[in-house]
Chain A
Amino acid sequence: MSQEHNMRRVTAIRNGTVIDHIPSGHAMRVLEMLGINRSSSVPVSMVMNVPSKKMGTKDIIKVEDRELTQDELNRLALVAPDAHVAIIRAYSVAEKMTIELGEEVQNVVRCTFSNCITTNLREPLPHRLKVLSREPLELRCHYCGRPQDLEELVHNVL
């Protein structure tokens, strides 16, 4: 099954953002990380577990009428660091963007450790996770030093 066929499982979008090469089964997490949920009004299409030459299978998301910012995309580094992102304008790829994971992930998710000082959400300092390793992804809380459970982390999106 061709790449083109995958992309056409859902209609081509006129304007918006296409996130391709999401690891299979992670599309819902990507939406969660981007804060795209029931309260979002823009049309969102999603395909899951479609064939991919590079990855075996993959997920794809198309968000219409919304150009995701670099900051928003960088949130995906935690769940889909190798995803390809394209900004679409008038049915054409206007811009390609890459997801960047810096030395620290700030105010994206909160620490998963139940006794961390940051579990008090009234505390005003930023939530900070340090990136110890990229491959495999290893994160530790700047404050309590606890390693982060990546499965659990996506439920702690701020």
Chain B
Amino acid sequence: MPGLITMDDLTNDEILSILDDAERLLPVAQGHVYLPLLQGKILGNLFFEPSTRTRMSFETAMKRLGGEVVNLGDVKTSSVVKGETLFDTIQMVDGYTDIIAMRHPRQGAAQYAQDSARVPILNGGDGAGHHPTQTMLDLFTIRQAHGRLDGLKVVLAGDLRYGRTVHSLSHALTRFGCELVLASPSLLKMPAEIVSDLKAHGANVVETEDLLGSLGDADVVYMTRIQKERFADEDEYAKVAGAYKLHATNLDGAKESMIIMHPLPRVDEIHPSVDGTRHARYFEQAFNGVVARMALLCRLLNVPVPATVGGEA
């Protein structure tokens, strides 16, 4: 199989099967079992813009499976600063590695890289485009909590315009028949072409500015950060951002099983009082980045995950 550029590269069955692999790899991700499935393989980490969780979790995933990682390093000191094209950079790394994980500020960069490369590309975010490996860990987290993906009511909240995680996730959830509530300030609404795509796929989508009013019957609330720099002035930001903050007191009427997710880093959109509630899942979600990416690395490198993973380390 080629790389993973958007969620359209995976069928629903493939998604579920990769999540099953991830489930079995949990003890490996936790360090309880050593399973060097990817020994002898090299991952090229090409992060053309800052990343903490995505880059580190790819690296951890590869190392937990016995593989090696080479990094592009700081873009400021690499040949990119000398004006090297993405095409040329990919030609080089393609020769050094077996698989590439990349993040790039330009939208479409991952597809461009895949068209230039022999090895599979894992898109770790391209501008405001897609972030499918994040979607896989989000789906893993949702399934872990609810035991299923289909038919859930999911609220996506915050910056839906520029937030690539919610772009990829909304497409995937729609394919599993989830009902979507898109809660955002009007300035940061989900791009019209994405909403129209979701509706064309038969999705039940509601757009609203009222986050707190949408919590009542939600199964999942997926928060994202609203960035100050998107607003013309600070007063406008303060007014809008205030309506997209969750405090433990806002959760009184929520379903017991409702989970709150966040791709992190958070600033103040989720108050620390939420951390201790049964709803908070964002730190588990960040950990799940490792196990989901382990399963993806195995799948794209055509290395099967054994039906049982045992043998305590």
> CB within 8 Å of B: which residues of A?
111, 113, 115-120, 122-125, 141-147
* Chain B residues with CB under 8 A of A145: 6, 107-108, 111, 129-130
With contact pairs A125-B115, A143-B112 given, residues A117 and B106 touching in the complex (Cβ less than 8 Å): yes
B85-A123 in contact (CB<8A)? yes
B87-A124 in contact (CB<8A)? yes
With contact pairs A124-B85, A144-B129, A145-B6 given, residues A117 and B109 touching in the complex (Cβ less than 8 Å): yes
> CB within 8 Å of A: which residues of B?
6, 83, 85-87, 104-109, 111-112, 115-116, 126-130, 193
- The distance in angstroms between the C-alpha atoms of A113 and B104, with both chains bound, is 16
With contact pairs A117-B112, A120-B85, A125-B112 given, residues A144 and B193 touching in the complex (Cβ less than 8 Å): no
* Chain B residues with CB under 8 A of A146: 107, 193
- The distance in angstroms between the C-alpha atoms of A130 and B193, with both chains bound, is 15
B108-A123 in contact (CB<8A)? no
A-B interface pairs (CB < 8 A), number: 62
Of the A-B pairs whose beta carbons lie under 8 Å apart in the complex, a sample of 6, sorted by A's number, is A116-B108, A123-B86, A142-B111, A144-B126, A145-B107, A145-B111
- The distance in angstroms between the C-alpha atoms of A56 and B197, with both chains bound, is 35
A144-B87 in contact (CB<8A)? no
B108 contact from A118, A122, A147, Cβ within 8 A? A118
A144-B127 in contact (CB<8A)? yes
Chain A residue at minimum C-beta to C-beta distance from B130: A145
* Chain A residues with CB under 8 A of B116: 125
- The distance in angstroms between the C-alpha atoms of A118 and B108, with both chains bound, is 8
B107-A123 in contact (CB<8A)? no
- The distance in angstroms between the C-alpha atoms of A113 and B129, with both chains bound, is 12
With contact pairs A142-B111, A146-B193 given, residues A115 and B128 touching in the complex (Cβ less than 8 Å): yes
* Chain A residues with CB under 8 A of B87: 123-125
B115-A116 in contact (CB<8A)? no
A141-B193 in contact (CB<8A)? no
Q: Least Cβ distance of A102 to chain B in Å?
A: 18
The 9 closest A-B pairs by CB, nearest first: A143-B108, A144-B108, A144-B107, A117-B106, A117-B108, A117-B109, A117-B112, A143-B111, A116-B108
A113-B112 in contact (CB<8A)? no
A118-B112 in contact (CB<8A)? yes
Q: Least Cβ distance of A142 to chain B in Å?
A: 7
- The distance in angstroms between the C-alpha atoms of A95 and B151, with both chains bound, is 59
- The distance in angstroms between the C-alpha atoms of A116 and B111, with both chains bound, is 11
- The distance in angstroms between the C-alpha atoms of A123 and B108, with both chains bound, is 12
Most buried by B among A111, A124, A141, A143: A143
- The distance in angstroms between the C-alpha atoms of A136 and B104, with both chains bound, is 33
B106 contact from A116, A122, A147, Cβ within 8 A? A116
A115-B107 in contact (CB<8A)? yes
A123 contact from B6, B112, B127, B128, Cβ within 8 A? B112
Q: Least Cβ distance of A153 to chain B in Å?
A: 16
Most buried by A among B85, B106, B111: B106
- The distance in angstroms between the C-alpha atoms of A119 and B108, with both chains bound, is 11
Chain B residue at minimum C-beta to C-beta distance from A119: B106
- The distance in angstroms between the C-alpha atoms of A117 and B89, with both chains bound, is 14
